[in-house]
Amino acid sequence: MDEKILMDLIERKRYIELKEKLSEMNAVDIAELLNPLEHPITLLIFRMLPKDMAVEVFSYFSSEQQADIINAITDKELKYILDELFFDDMIDLIEEMPANLVNKILANSTHDERKLINQFLKYPADSAGSLMTIEYVELKKEMTVMKALKHIKDIGLSKETVYTCYVTDDNRKLEAIISLRSLVVSDDEIVIKDIMHEDIIYVNTHDDQETVAGIFKKYGFLALPVVDMENRLTGIITVDDIMDVMEQEATEDFQRMAAMSPSEETYLDSSVLTLAKQRIPWLLILMIGGAFTGGIISKFENVLSAVVALTAFIPMLMDTGGNSGSQSSTLIIRGLATGEIALKDIWKVLWKEFRISLIAGTTLAAVNFAKNMLFDKVGVLVSLTVSCTLIVTVMVSKIIGGVLPLLAKRLKLDPAIMAGPLITTIVDTITLMVYFTIASMLMQL
Amino acid sequence: MDEKILMDLIERKRYIELKEKLSEMNAVDIAELLNPLEHPITLLIFRMLPKDMAVEVFSYFSSEQQADIINAITDKELKYILDELFFDDMIDLIEEMPANLVNKILANSTHDERKLINQFLKYPADSAGSLMTIEYVELKKEMTVMKALKHIKDIGLSKETVYTCYVTDDNRKLEAIISLRSLVVSDDEIVIKDIMHEDIIYVNTHDDQETVAGIFKKYGFLALPVVDMENRLTGIITVDDIMDVMEQEATEDFQRMAAMSPSEETYLDSSVLTLAKQRIPWLLILMIGGAFTGGIISKFENVLSAVVALTAFIPMLMDTGGNSGSQSSTLIIRGLATGEIALKDIWKVLWKEFRISLIAGTTLAAVNFAKNMLFDKVGVLVSLTVSCTLIVTVMVSKIIGGVLPLLAKRLKLDPAIMAGPLITTIVDTITLMVYFTIASMLMQL
């Protein structure tokens, strides 16, 4: 069903038909369909949904729409949503809502819920604690398979996942995990102790979300338990939330590598001022860094005025240096992010980039020399100067581009800032110095 | 257990202790532990593992190690591995092995298996068909919950996932899905027809893996059915394989955006020649594109020789233009990749970039003017020329950077090639033309 059909059904008040069509849809698609609609219509349709579906659709709404809905519905309706919402979605909701709506939400929570909400709000952003939810299935090792399955049958619908269950002791310490698959393929009278897995991989509430994403990628888990400092099970993280983290981490790297402060907001939702603030500081820093290149050109003014043809190759040399460095730094930064490259590989990287840059540098220099002689007709000395500079520039850029991200990692900085723009600024300075030095030597200026 | 303990146990022939330690480990970790070891030791440990564990560990080995093992083991051992390996892992294996080992593998397969293997090898790389596996649970709508659970109990261990089951008709057409959760929380005598979901989301064998990843991200599925042209169920794709796809797609975008041909091999595993080939073509294209900038400088030689100070600002202006353009193009390319920005948003992007670039351009121009007057002391006219060029350059670069990726998408090209390096080359030409034109006008040269 698309927006047109929806509006048509509403106008003709064909509510029963509308209800039926909605019931065939996925909650994600309903939320998407309602997204561009005006408030009274959204509320009308929202109230038409079966209660459980309404809560699910609500969890996929944008923050603005969630705020509209909370403003409009009764306390009773709100209480139902809050009760049914998974705890991680509830925490996300509270973090996004304006103060008056947070008050309305807290007023509809019990004392215990408020205590738990406060505890969760304290986990640092981007930590495992901020990603986890509390709706998991807890089993005891003395249970039989039959009893465990009966337990899951009773409470399963209100849990985020039932596919991995957690075995805890009386102090809630995490002892083992058991998959629903193991339960379903085992005979009724088998005791959980005999089929559970005690070699558990888990994370701590304060572990970084990048670490968590790495574990999911490595092992292919559907869910991961989160424990506190005393090894007590406090929550679980499910794979669907980790896919968002992976996408967000990649986006942040893209932004840092293009000389911007990372932002979690989407482009279209960000205001012009926010986007400008994300971009201007780095542009300013890099612009002022350009003073070095200017200084070098001023210093070698006599070389340039003696052989005017040299000026024409400055842009090409700078760009080639920048591009060569970006290629290397991008591969290393990405390799560090995916875990394929580690700090200890620095000598391998150095040796590899040295050989690659020798091949790339001489190829470019040869093509350029031919082009200079055949098309530009600038004479042997200028052609030779430009080509020699190309070899040195490509080699220096690639080695700097390969090593700087590793050094940044070593200094516990984000390797992604050592990307194109910064490398370009560094490489520019070196390129110009090499260029003028070679020119001075070859042409005895 | 680390490598040292492992080698120590082997040397002292403490095989029982070793076996016990291995049995506590995750298959992924065992494969990682064996990865750097020499062939006879790998084989020794491999044969020590329980059979099912051995197959799982085998699936996580590198291609070289898989080849070593296949070379060394008996046909009987190989047959066991092939029987137990999930079909998608088997296809990956065949695609990676040298011809003689492929023959050994095929000789140990049945006629039907060979037919199926041939069919799967024909799916294009990066298609849904190349990602799917055939080990899924098929149910019929007339079954009761009890019968379905009994069926899963009998066959569940050999299926890649049992958490989503597929309801098909007699012609194997996909009719509905049902989650194991629904089965487990339902009463035994309920008929599947009454609790299954008929509003299924599925993909076709030839759909692109990026589309598939998008669906997983949007809906948070654990598995997705794949159908052929006649809507018959042919396989399923599970979420763990999609996480690899997401990472690979992001890596390819990083590579394209840094002017490289994308590669699936990791940096450390690629040969120097492969890496050089990945990088040189784009460096050459962009270097030759630099002829334009050289041409412009040659054309305006008289302006440069009249006011020599102008040359010193060329690098800074070019870099600022390149950086401004990269910022915008990166955000748009990433937005297109994650689905946050669509083609229809082109006017929104244009208007947003116009306003952002006006703010960024004037800020940079103001800071630059102050710096030129106070520190560089180059006179009002040169300072004014540079600052005016900055405003125009930043605005033009951001608008080009914002729009070109969308145009590329429109022309069905990959938006990621419209990133930093290409934008920089285009913007350089414009920047220089603007610079010399403003200089000529202001200084009446």
For residue range A301-320, what is the model confidence (pLDDT) as tens digits? 777 777 777 888 888 888 88
Q: Is A99 on the interface with B (CB under 8 A)?
A: no
Give the model's confidence band at B304: pLDDT under 50 very low, under 70 low, under 90 confident, else very high. Answer: confident
* pLDDT above 80 for A38: no
Q: Between A376 and A122, where is the model more confident?
A: A122
Specify the pLDDT at position B53.
Answer: 86
All residues at 6 or more sequence positions from A79 whose CB lies less than 8 Å from its CB, including other chains: A108
Q: Is B297 on the interface with A (CB under 8 A)?
A: yes
Contact A421 B323 (CB under 8 A): yes
Contact B319 A428 (CB under 8 A): yes
Q: Which letter, b or e, does each residue of A346-359 get, where b requires 16 or more Cβ atoms within 10 Å of its Cβ?
A: beebeebbeebbbb
Mean pLDDT in residue range B403-423: 81
- Whether the CB-CB separation of A360 and B283 falls below 8 Å is answered with yes
* pLDDT above 70 for A67: yes
Task: Compute chain B's Rg from CA coordinates.
Answer: 30
Report the residue from B162, B242, B315 with minimal CB separation from A184: B162
| Cα B142 to Cα B126: distance, rounded to the nearest angstrom | 36
For residue A318, which amino acid is it? Answer: M
In terms of Cα–Cα distance, which of A309, A307, A293 is closest to A376?
Answer: A309
Could you give the 3-state DSSP secondary structure of residue A362? helix
| Cα A88 to Cα A90: distance, rounded to the nearest angstrom | 5
Report the residue from A185, A390, A394 with minimal CB separation from B156: A185
How do residues B370-389 score in pLDDT, each as one tens digit? 888 887 777 888 888 889 99
Q: Is A107 on the interface with B (CB under 8 A)?
A: no
Contact A360 B149 (CB under 8 A): no
Q: Which fold has domain A3-122?
A: MgtE N-terminal fold (1.25.60)
Give the model's confidence band at A445: pLDDT under 50 very low, under 70 low, under 90 confident, else very high. Answer: low
All residues at 6 or more sequence positions from A410 whose CB lies less than 8 Å from its CB, including other chains: A343
- Rounded to 10 deg, the angle between the B99-107 and B75-84 helix axes is 80
Please state the φ and ψ torsions of residue B168, each to the nearest 5 degrees.
Answer: -125, 160
* pLDDT above 80 for B259: no
How do residues B196-215 score in pLDDT, each as one tens digit? 888 889 999 999 988 899 89
Give the model's confidence band at A225: pLDDT under 50 very low, under 70 low, under 90 confident, else very high. Answer: very high
Best probe of the B interface among A147, A271, A287, by most B CBs < 10 A, is A287
The CATH code belonging to domain B138-240 is: 3.10.580.10
Contact B280 A26 (CB under 8 A): no
| Cα B349 to Cα A197: distance, rounded to the nearest angstrom | 52
Q: Hey, what CATH class is A290-443 in?
A: mainly alpha
Q: By CA distance, what is B425's nearest residue in A?
A: A319
| Cα A57 to Cα A65: distance, rounded to the nearest angstrom | 11
All residues at 6 or more sequence positions from B256 whose CB lies less than 8 Å from its CB, including other chains: B262, B414, B416, B417, B419
For A62, the enclosing helix (H) or strand (E) is: none
Q: How many CB pairs under 8 A join A and B?
A: 339
| Cα B324 to Cα A280: distance, rounded to the nearest angstrom | 9
- Six token digits for residue B320: 């600022």
Write out the DSSP string of A244-270.
HHHHHHHHHHHHHHTT----SS-TTTS
**Gap from A103 CA to chain B (nearest CA, Å):** 31
Written in H, E and C, the secondary structure of A177-204 is EEEHHHHHHCCCCCEHHHCCECCCCCEE
Could you give the 3-state DSSP secondary structure of residue B176? strand
Contact B316 A291 (CB under 8 A): yes
Could you give the 3-state DSSP secondary structure of residue B312? helix
Specify the pLDDT at position B445.
Answer: 66
Mean pLDDT in residue range A231-254: 87
Contact A275 B356 (CB under 8 A): yes
Provide the H-helix boundaries in B232-376. Answer: 239-257, 272-289, 291-299, 301-306, 314-338, 346-371
**Gap from A173 CA to chain B (nearest CA, Å):** 20
Domain ranges of chain A: 3-122, 138-247, 290-443
How do residues A244-278 score in pLDDT, each as one tens digit? 888 888 888 887 877 677 777 777 777 878 877 87
- Whether the CB-CB separation of B439 and B280 falls below 8 Å is answered with no
* pLDDT above 90 for A21: no
Contact B371 A288 (CB under 8 A): yes
* pLDDT above 80 for B178: yes
Q: Is A335 on the interface with B (CB under 8 A)?
A: yes
Specify the pLDDT at position A402.
Answer: 87
In terms of Cα–Cα distance, which of A358, A146, A335, A395 is closest to B270?
Answer: A335
Its pTM stands at 0.78
How do residues B117-164 score in pLDDT, each as one tens digit? 888 888 888 888 888 888 889 999 999 999 999 998 888 777 888 899
Lowest-confidence pick of A137-146, B22-31, B186-195: B22-31
Q: CB-hemisphere CA count at 13 Å for A168?
A: 19
| Assigned superfamily of A138-247 | CBS-domain (3.10.580.10)
In terms of Cα–Cα distance, which of B6, B5, B80, B14 is closest to B41?
Answer: B6
Beta-strand pair B203-204/B223-227: parallel
Could you give the 3-state DSSP secondary structure of residue B328? helix
For A237, the enclosing helix (H) or strand (E) is: strand A233-238
Contact A324 B180 (CB under 8 A): no
Cβ burial of B231 (10 Å; 0-12, 13-18, 19+) is: middle
| B positions 308-327 inside 8 Å of A (CB) | 308-309, 311-316, 318-320, 322-324, 326-327
| B positions 392-411 inside 8 Å of A (CB) | 394
- Residues of chain B contacting A202 with CB distance shorter than 8 Å: none
Write out the DSSP string of B156-173.
GGGSS-SSEEEEE-TT-B
Contact B319 A425 (CB under 8 A): yes
Q: Is B362 on the interface with A (CB under 8 A)?
A: no
Q: How many helices (H) and strands (E) does chain B have?
A: 22, 6
Mean pLDDT in residue range B39-62: 85
The mean predicted confidence, pLDDT, of chain B is 85
| Cα A2 to Cα A160: distance, rounded to the nearest angstrom | 29
Give the model's confidence band at A166: pLDDT under 50 very low, under 70 low, under 90 confident, else very high. Answer: very high
Q: Is B367 on the interface with A (CB under 8 A)?
A: yes
Give the model's confidence band at A204: pLDDT under 50 very low, under 70 low, under 90 confident, else very high. Answer: very high
Report the residue from A266, A425, A432 with minimal CB separation from B340: A266
All residues at 6 or more sequence positions from B208 whose CB lies less than 8 Å from its CB, including other chains: B126, B127, B128
